[in-house]
């Protein structure tokens, strides 16, 4: 599924904790995750593919920022040189 071993172990621990707490909760007709477990599973990081997409997006923003910085520095130098 693309999960790192640490993330997979977190999901297993969340499921085990929810099953342990289910013994205390009122019985339901079908086993359903509690809202707390659902929100905790949402905190687990995504797959390696999602991390790669986020890294590429960050790299793109970094390149654009560097290019804009160079362009602004160049315009500033030309402005200062033209003022003399």
**Got the DSSP string for 2-53?**
---HHHHHHHHHHHHHHHHHHTTSPP-SS----HHHHHHHHHS---HHHHHH
Specify whether 37 is located in the same domain as 2.
Answer: yes
Q: How confident is the model at residue 82 (pLDDT cuts 50, 70, 90)?
A: confident
Report pTM.
0.45
Report pLDDT digits (tens) over 49-72. Answer: 677 788 899 999 999 999 999 999
Specify whether 34 is located in the same domain as 53.
Answer: no
Q: How confident is the model at residue 41 (pLDDT cuts 50, 70, 90)?
A: confident
Give residue 54's pLDDT.
80
Specify whether 39 is located in the same domain as 2.
Answer: yes
Specify whether 32 is located in the same domain as 16.
Answer: yes
């Amino acid at each position: 599924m693309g999960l790192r071993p640490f993330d997979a172990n977190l999901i297993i621990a969340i499921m085990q904790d929810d099953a342990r707490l289910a013994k205390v909760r009122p019985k339901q007709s079908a086993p359903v995750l509690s809202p707390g477990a659902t929100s905790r599973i949402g905190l687990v990081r995504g797959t390696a593919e999602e991390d790669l997409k986020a890294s590429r997006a960050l790299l793109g923003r970094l390149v654009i920022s560097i290019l804009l910085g160079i362009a602004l520095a160049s315009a500033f130098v030309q402005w200062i040189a033209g003022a003399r």
